[in-house]
Homo-oligomer: A and B are copies of this chain.
Amino acid sequence: MSQVLANYEDQLANTKMPAGKKKVLTTALKLFANNGFHATTTAKIAQQAGVSEGTIYKYFSSKEDLLAKLLQPILREIKNNFFSNLDDKADLPSLIDFIVTDRINFIEVNFDFIRVIFQEILTGQLTDKSYQEFFIGNDGILPRLQKLPANYPEINQKLTSSQIARIFIGPILTYVLQNKLLGLPVNSDDLELIKQQILANLTLKY
C-alpha cells in the first residue's frame, strides 16, 4: 500500500535534475508555505536559494508555473493514495489504526505542501474542475469510500460516503491543525483516542 513519501528534499535527491532547479523548488515550497504565494517574490526565492532570478525563469515560465509544477506531484499522490486500498485489512480497528497512523504521518511529512494547497483552496485559486473531481470524480475519494460499509458489516449501513469521509477527516484534520499549525501541545493518548472515536462513530446506531 501507499508508502508515505519521504520529505521533499529527500525525494528530489533521488531525482535527476539540475541543482539550481532543485534549490528553487525546495526554497519556493518553504517560502510559499510560510508566507503565502503572493507575498513571496521571485527575488526572495532566488536569494534564499542562492541562485539568480534568471535560474528560476530558466526552468519555469512564470511564478504561477513554478507553483503548478511544485504542486503537481503531491496532488497526484494525494489523489491516488489518500484513501486507497481500504479493504486489505483484517478487521475494522486495524484498518482505522492503519489509516490514522499513515495519513497523519503523511500530512506531517508533507505539511508545507498541505499548507500551500489549503491556501490555494481558500483563495479560490484551485478551481472547481481541478479538485471538485478530486472528491466526487469517478475514482475520487468519496466513491472510494463507498465500498467500506459493504466490506465491514459492523459499520452503520446508513452512512453515506460523505459522512464516512468526515468521520475520518474531522479528527485527523483537527489534530494536525492544533498540533502543526497552532503549535498547541498534544496529549500522548491523542492518537489512540482518535482511533476509538472513529470506530465509535462508524459503528454508531442512530
For A187, the closest partner residue in chain B by CB is B160
**A118 in the interface (beta carbon within 8 A):** yes
Indicate if the CB atoms of B181 and A121 lie closer than 8 Å.
yes
Interface string of A142-157 (1 = CB under 8 A from B): 1000000000000000
For A160, the closest partner residue in chain B by CB is B187
Interface of A is mostly: helix
B residues less than 8 Å from A60 (CB atoms):
none
Q: Which stretch, A14-22, A101-109, A171-179, touches the partner chain B?
A: A171-179
- In whole angstroms, how far apart are the Cα atoms of A181 and B118 in the complex? 11
**A122 in the interface (beta carbon within 8 A):** yes
Interface string of A32-73 (1 = CB under 8 A from B): 001111110000000000000000000000000000000000
**5 A-B pairs with least C-beta separation:** A38-B38, A36-B123, A170-B170, A170-B174, A166-B174
Chain A residues with CB under 8 Å of chain B are 34-39, 115, 118-119, 121-125, 128, 131-132, 135-136, 142, 160, 162-163, 165-167, 169-171, 173-175, 178, 181-187, 190, 192-193, 196-197, 200-201, 204, 206
